[in-house]
Amino acid sequence: MEYWENIEAILESLNLEEKITLLSGKTFSATASYPEKNVPSIKTADGPNGVRAPATSRDVYSACFPAACSLAATFDIELARQFGQALADEAHRKDANCILGPTVCIHRHPLGGRNFESFSEDPFLSGKMAAQVIQGLQENGVAATIKHFVANEQETCRTTVDETISERALREIYLRPFEIAIKESNPWAVMTDYNLVNGIHCDSNEFLLSDTLRGAWGWEGLIMSDWGGTNSVANALHAGLDLEMPGPPKVRKLSTVVQALEKEEIPEEVINERAKAVLRLALKLDSLKKHNLSRPSEEKMDYVKFIRKAGACGMVLLKNEDDILPLSKEKVRGKRIALIGYAKDALIHGGGSASVNAYYKVTPEDGLKSALGHDVEFTYAKGAHRERLLPPLANSSATGKVVGADGAPGFTLSFFESGKNHPVFIKNGWPSSHYSPLGSNESSERSIELVGHFTPEETSDHYISCSGFGPTQVYIDKSPIFSQDGNTQDPMGSLFNAVREPEIRHHFIAGNTYEICIRSEPPRNLGLAVLEGRSGVRLGFSPVSVHDADLRGEAVRVAQEADYAIVFTGHDSQWETEGQDQASFNLPHHQNELVSAVTAVNKDVIVVNVTGVAIAMPWIDNVRGLIQAWFPGQEHGNAIADIITGKVSPEGHLPVSFPRNIENAPAHGNFPGEYVDGELKVKYAEGVFVGYRHYDRVPREQLNFQFGHGLSYTNFALGDVKIENMTNEAFNIVTDVQNVGSMVGGVLIQLYIGRVQPSVEHPVKMLAAFKKIRLEPGQKRPVELSVFTRDFAYFDEKHKKWMVEEGEYEFSLGLSSVNILKAGQFYQTRMTWDP
């Protein structure tokens, strides 16, 4: 008997209590199971750019793949599919069968804290890339969970923010990538988000879940909440939310759901439907495993090769004045290259759900030294601090040694029941002065205490910072030095190490030993169910000499003595993270001033920027080379070296626009919103004019770099263009492309469609097709781009229809949204579609 034929029988065998239990997680990452009744568990794992399982365990290591923004910059759908396959392979090895990804929310504003985890400002590109990731996962027996449904474009107050979005903008921009991916790849699960759309929480929004997702789109998978994102019992069940995560439940407690049934707020038929959705996915995954369609391959996938290739393919060469790049061995032999900034730091991922304990990390310095060997003399200067917060105190720290109560390296971590003086249990050898409750029930309803005996390396003042989820105190030799009297003011920021921490100074004498004790109580009424009652704490620590060092002066000296200076700028996972929007459009720690100082003493400066978002570049006219590297995964340094040295010709293109100033962003003034009666509200006042749809209508000077921009070390030419097989609903654009340069390379052909007579109500043009091809020097190949009329339709709010109006349209074929090489016109008859 096939699994779907058994669902009704299993459902019939479950009593009401068991069916209700299926509607919420059992643990932080798994659903309930009843083996005696043939009900298996769904085992989830975060997976935006690497499989974290179980959750945030420090003992689990994972492959760290390029972030979604980096993958999108490749515009390579086959690479996206391979990424999904690689994630599936990792999931099998970690006994997870449901990946919480991909993320397809739109890059609405450059300060979005989680933009890096999503693909693009363009819904068409986002949907196409996501569809391939999903197919790669599910053809290998692992469920994809496309998220966050819908419009999770900011982290500020993300659990409570109310977004006012027109139906047209909602359908054309924010729902569109979900629609494309769902119709093309049928993900087996969808995750709702925390925010409200037009006054209704997404997990309880019948228009989104019932009318659109399951109604108009005909999708039949499992709908789960974001972690802690279930906001009601009856309303969410009615709307279509099948599964509250994580477990044990905070909202769908058995007694609460039974009470709702008794009050006739929900009928039992709704419970049955929701339980059936959970059963359907659990049994499907179990069946795939039993039929050997869900298991790791015999040989471990070559992650090293794939991640290095994908990371390099996503890097975008933004500027290459006088062909300063590549720095080949022949070009730089005998030269001195200054590596400045984050050359010794592998900024491989953003923070939050995308963080993984990577198997290894390759720094840019490692990659360049490996690539150029002994042909070059390298010098180094840090140039700027990296961390947003002071680093945790750890036994391995250069500041000194820490031993716990047992005399072994590390801290002693103790858990106490409320009001009790004796610990319930103790963990010795805790590696640092940081404990997060994410993914663990150890601290639920318990206070925690971290104790370490610290012997400093130097006599000096040290900075100490601290934050806890609940009331927190810090003691040195039994004397209090810090107190946080209540809950954190920013639970999401605290969860992902992005909350501001007050800093104090304390004097230590080298060789003396000091007892450092950190105590934290569980928070109450925190406003975030997933953290309610869970203790967590973080203490930062740094000598004043390290914290206040003049790093820029050293960088200027090193740059002045070098033939070339490569400045590595960017964000680490504390600056760009889930839980916190960007603090500024400018790079942190005065990195802009660092670049300017270096360009003042060296004319051959190359900047390699590692962020998932556009940034301010006030120094842009003074640098000769600029590479946008995104977060390229654990092969970070090798991928960068491949591009810098010319082993690989850059072929990435921007999936987002880079405005010159933050005031130029289309959502400026409407991000992150305004407080009304204590609640944050944001108007998506820019409507459908997001990203290049906006910049096409304003002076070019508002942009540093346009959507789709990307340079190469070789050159390409397009041949004649013609339209073939034209019908009302589809046609093909046919041309040929030739590599007319001297190096093998990849080229991205972008096709945009717009009206010949522009209208203020509609974008000038929209991306309607794209294709990446790779060519040897002199090689020519035909290119065919399939265009579907529905992909350049707009949503008519009055008639509640998708529509293409009759008239003359123009196609633009080029290498970016601005660099158009070929154009032509065609006549389109009127077409309409139901939503």
Q: Give, to the nearest 10 degrees, the angle between helix 77-93 and helix 303-314.
A: 140
Q: Is 122 helix (H, G, I), strand (E, B) or coil?
A: coil
Tell me the longest C-alpha to C-alpha distance in the chain: 84
Judge whether 561 and 542 are in contact, CB under 8 Å: no
| Distance from C-alpha of 658 to C-alpha of 710, rounded to nearest angstrom | 12
22 and 273 Cβ atoms separated by less than 8 Å: no
Backbone angles phi, psi at 659, to 5 degrees: -70, 155
Q: Is 226 one of the annotated active-site residues of the chain?
A: yes
Segment holding 607, helix H or strand E: strand 605-610
Using only C-alpha atoms, the chain has a radius of gyration, in whole angstroms, of: 27
Ramachandran angles phi, psi of 261, nearest 5°: -65, -45
- Of 89, 162, 226, 242, the catalytic one is 226
User: How far, in Å, CA of 123 to CA of 767, rounded?
Assistant: 9
What DSSP designation does 391 have? P
Q: Identify the CA nearest to 658 among candidates 610, 608, 607, 614.
A: 614
* Interior angle at CA 302, CA 51 and CA 104, nearest 5: 40
Dist CA 110 CA 666 (whole Å)? 10
Q: Which helix (H) or strand (E) holds 556?
A: helix 551-560
Please report, for residues 54, 405, 409, 450, 541, the alpha-carbon distance to residue 428 in angstroms, rounded to integers and kept in the order given: 21, 8, 9, 10, 20
Residue 369 tokens, joined: 């030294």
CA distances (Å), 81 to each of 87, 129, 314, 654, 754, in order?
Answer: 10, 8, 15, 20, 30
Enter the tokens of residue 277.
């959705």
Cβ burial, residue 263 (10 Å; 0-12/13-18/19+): exposed
Please, what sign has the CA dihedral across residues 523, 529, 531, 535? positive
Residues designated as active site? 226
